Amino acid sequence: MARTTLPAAYQQKVLSAAPDSELHSYNQALPLMMVRYLGPGLLGLGITALIAGFMSGMAGNVSAFSTVWTYDLYKPLINKKGSDSHYVMVGRLSIVIGVAISIGAGYLVQHAHGIMDYVQALFSIFIAPLLATILLGMFWKRATRLAGFLGLLFGIVFSASLFEWVHLYPAKLAYVALSPDAKPMAENVFRALWACLFTAIVIFVVSLFTKPRPVAELDGLVYGITKLPREEPVPFYKNEWTWAILVVIIFAALNILFW
C-alpha cells in the first residue's frame, strides 16, 4: 500500500508559510508525523490513543488530587471526626475547585513558548524535588518524616525562586543553565537538576539531626529492609515477556499491513 502523504494544498501552504508561522512550530510535530507515516487504519487508532491517554492522565490527576487533599490534608489536619459522606462531599468539592483552577491556569500557556516548555517548567518546580524526596525515602532508612517534608517544601521554593530569578534578570540564565544562550528547555533541565540536588541535601542534613523511625516500622517502605517476594516459575501464557513479545509482533504486523 502506498505511503500516506499530506494533501497537495496543505503542502503548498506549509511551503509558502512565513518562517515564524505556527505551521513550523514543533507543537505540530506529532500530528504531522502521524499523518505522514500512519495509514488510514492506524491514523484513527493513533488519534484515539492520544485522546485516551489524555483522558486517562487527567482522570488520574483529578483522582489523586482529591484523595491527597481529603485523606492526607483535610482529614488529619482540619476535621478528624467527619463521616464518610462528609469526606465524599469534600472530595467532590475539591475536584470542582481543582478543575476550575486548572482551567484558569491553562491560560498561562499562552505566555509560554510552547505547551511542552510550560509543562517542563512545572515539572522542574514540583516533580524534581518530589523525585529526590521519594528516592531518599525509598532507599535510605535514616531519612525522617520531618526531613522529607522540609526537603520537599524548600526544594519547591528553591526551584520556583530560580525560575523567578531568571525571569526578572535574564542575564542570570548563565548561572542556572551554565550558558547565557540556553533555550527554555535547557533551563528547565538544569533547574530540575539543581532543585533535586538541593532537596536531597536538605533531607540529608535534617535527617542527621532528627530521630529516625525504628527499622521494624520501615518494613514494606524502604528497599533493603523489605523482604522481596520470590516468584515461582509460571506457564508461558502467564509470563509478562510472552505478552510483551506478542504486542511487539502485532504492532509490527499492523505497520506493515497499513504502510
Cα-flanking dihedrals φ and ψ of residue 230, to 5°?
Answer: -100, 120
Kindly provide the b/e burial profile for residues 152-170, where b requires at least 16 CB atoms within 10 angstroms of the residue's own CB: bebbbebbbebbeebeeee
pLDDT tens digits, 221-230: 888 888 877 8
pLDDT tens digits, 7-59: 555 445 444 444 444 555 666 778 888 888 888 888 888 888 888 988 898 88
- Is residue 112 within 8 Å of 105, Cβ to Cβ? no
Report d(CA 66, CA 68) in Å as an integer.
6
Question: What is the predicted pLDDT for the residue at 47?
Answer: 87
Question: What is the predicted pLDDT for the residue at 183?
Answer: 84
Question: What is the predicted pLDDT for the residue at 10?
Answer: 47
The amino acid that residue 48 corresponds to is T
Question: What is the predicted pLDDT for the residue at 2?
Answer: 44
* C-alpha grid cell, residue 195: 532543585
CA distances from 61 to 52, 68, 76, 102 (A): 14, 10, 21, 11
CA distances from 31 to 25, 59, 110, 208 (A): 12, 23, 20, 51
Q: What is the pTM of this model?
A: 0.67
How many C-beta atoms surround the C-beta of residue 75 within 10 A?
A: 16
Question: What is the predicted pLDDT for the residue at 155?
Answer: 96
Report d(CA 154, CA 202) in Å as an integer.
8
Report d(CA 218, CA 97) in Å as an integer.
36
Question: What is the predicted pLDDT for the residue at 9?
Answer: 52
Tell me which residues of the chain have a pLDDT lower than 70.
1-27
